[in-house]
C-alpha cells in the first residue's frame, strides 16, 4: 500500500511541480526498475540463509525510510539526495516482502522446485476445477485491494489539502500530506512484525533442471470431489 501510493504521487509531483515531461519522469524512475532486479536476485539467494522475519523487517524499515525522504523533500531538493535513495529503498521493501510472501505460499502448497513460477496459475491448478475461478478471483482481489484503498486514502488527503489556503501558498504541501499517508501505512506495518514468525525458506542446494512441479491431476481431482 505504501509502495504503490508513493510511486503514483512521486510521478505526479515530478510532472506538475518540477515540470518534467513523461519521458524524463520515466528516466528519473528507471533506477527503481534496475534496483528491483538486483534486490530480487539478492532476496532469492538469502531466503534460505537469513531469517525471513528479519528480511521482512528490513523491507518494512526501508518502506518507512523511503517515504520519510519523500515527505520531507522540497521542489528544489536534490534528486540524488531525496528521490534517488527513496526509489532504491522503496523497492527493497517491495522485493523482499513479495519474495517472502510468494515462497511462503509456494512451500505451503507443497511445491519443491526452487525456481520462479506463476503463483496464481499454481494456486488455481492446485484446486478442483469447480473452485479455480473462485481462487483466481480471491487472489486478484487481495492483490489489488491494498493498492486501491491506499490510493483512495491518499487521494482524499491530497484533494482536501489542495482546497486549503495553505496549499495555495505552498504547492508542495498537498504532496507532502499524500506522502505522509504512505509513511503512516509503512509505520503501521512495523507494528505487526513482532507477531511474524517465518524462519528460513527454501533450500541451499540448487534444484535439478529435470525436477518438475507436482501439480494434481485436475480430472482425477474433479472426479474425487464429485464423488
CA gap 155, 181 in Å, rounded: 10
User: Cell numbers of 121, please?
Assistant: 496459475
Task: Evaluate whether residue 169 is within a structural domain.
Answer: yes
Average pLDDT, the chain: 80
Task: Evaluate whether residue 209 is within a structural domain.
Answer: no
Distances from the Cα of 24 to the Cαs of 4, 12, 81, in angstroms? Answer: 20, 12, 18
Query: What is the torsional sign of CA 160, 165, 166, 167?
Result: positive
pLDDT band at 154 (very low <50, low <70, confident <90, very high): very high
79 backbone φψ class: left, alpha, beta (φ>0; ψ -120 to 50): alpha
The answer to whether 97 and 59 have CB atoms below 8 angstroms apart is yes
Number of H helices, E strands in the chain: 9, 0
Number of Cβ within 10 Å of residue 144's Cβ equals 11
Task: Evaluate whether residue 170 is within a structural domain.
Answer: yes
Task: Please say if the pLDDT value at position 207 is more than 70.
Answer: no
Task: Evaluate whether residue 65 is within a structural domain.
Answer: yes
Summarize pLDDT for 31-82 with one digit per residue, the tens. Answer: 999 999 999 889 888 888 888 889 889 999 999 999 999 999 998 899 999 9
Task: Evaluate whether residue 14 is within a structural domain.
Answer: yes
170 backbone φψ class: left, alpha, beta (φ>0; ψ -120 to 50): beta
Domain containing residue 75: 2-200
The predicted structure's pLDDT at residue 136: 63
CATH of the domain at 97: 1.20.1250
Task: Please say if the pLDDT value at position 170 is more than 90.
Answer: yes
Residue that the C-alpha cell 537469513 belongs to:
50
Task: Evaluate whether residue 56 is within a structural domain.
Answer: yes
Task: Evaluate whether residue 121 is within a structural domain.
Answer: yes
Mean pLDDT for the stretch of residues 143-165: 92
Task: Please say if the pLDDT value at position 210 is more than 50.
Answer: no
Mean pLDDT for the stretch of residues 182-210: 76
207 backbone φψ class: left, alpha, beta (φ>0; ψ -120 to 50): beta
pLDDT band at 100 (very low <50, low <70, confident <90, very high): confident
Summarize pLDDT for 113-139 with one digit per residue, the tens. Answer: 444 344 444 445 556 777 767 766 776
Strands (E), 98-154: none
Task: Evaluate whether residue 222 is within a structural domain.
Answer: no
Summarize pLDDT for 17-30 with one digit per residue, the tens. Answer: 999 999 999 999 99
CA gap 42, 144 in Å, rounded: 26
Number of domains in the chain: 1
The percentage of the chain sitting over the pLDDT mark of 70, rounded to a whole number, equals 73
Amino acid at each position: 500500500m505504501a509502495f504503490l501510493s508513493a510511486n503514483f504521487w512521486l510521478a505526479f509531483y515530478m510532472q506538475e511541480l518540477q515540470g518534467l515531461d513523461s519521458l524524463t519522469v520515466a528516466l528519473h524512475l528507471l533506477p527503481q526498475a534496475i534496483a528491483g532486479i538486483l534486490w530480487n536476485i539478492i532476496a532469492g539467494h538469502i531466503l534460505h540463509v537469513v531469517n525471513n522475519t528479519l528480511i521482512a523487517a528490513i523491507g518494512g524499515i526501508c518502506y518507512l525510510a523511503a517515504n520519510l525522504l519523500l515527505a520531507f523533500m522540497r521542489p528544489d531538493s536534490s534528486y540524488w539526495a531525496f528521490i534517488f535513495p527513496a526509489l532504491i529503498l522503496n523497492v527493497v521493501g517491495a522485493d523482499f516482502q513479495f519474495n517472502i510472501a510468494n515462497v511462503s505460499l509456494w512451500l505451503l502448497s507443497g511445491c519443491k522446485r526452487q525456481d520462479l513460477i506463476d503463483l496464481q496459475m499454481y494456486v488455481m491448478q492446485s484446486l478442483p476445477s469447480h473452485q479455480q475461478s473462485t481462487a483466481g478471483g480471491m487472489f486478484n482481489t487481495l492483490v489489488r485491494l491494498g493498492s486501491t484503498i491506499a490510493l483512495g486514502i491518499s487521494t482524499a488527503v491530497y484533494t482536501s489539502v489542495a482546497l486549503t489556503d495553505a496549499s495555495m501558498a505552498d504547492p508542495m504541501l498537498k504532496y507532502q500530506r499524500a506522502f505522509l499517508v504512505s509513511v503512516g501505512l509503512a509505520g503501521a506495518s512495523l507494528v505487526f512484525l513482532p507477531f511474524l514468525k517465518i524462519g528460513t525458506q527454501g533450500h541451499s542446494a540448487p534444484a535439478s533442471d529435470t525436477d518438475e512441479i507436482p501439480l494434481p491431476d485436475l480430472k482425477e481431482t474433479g472426479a474425487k470431489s464429485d464423488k
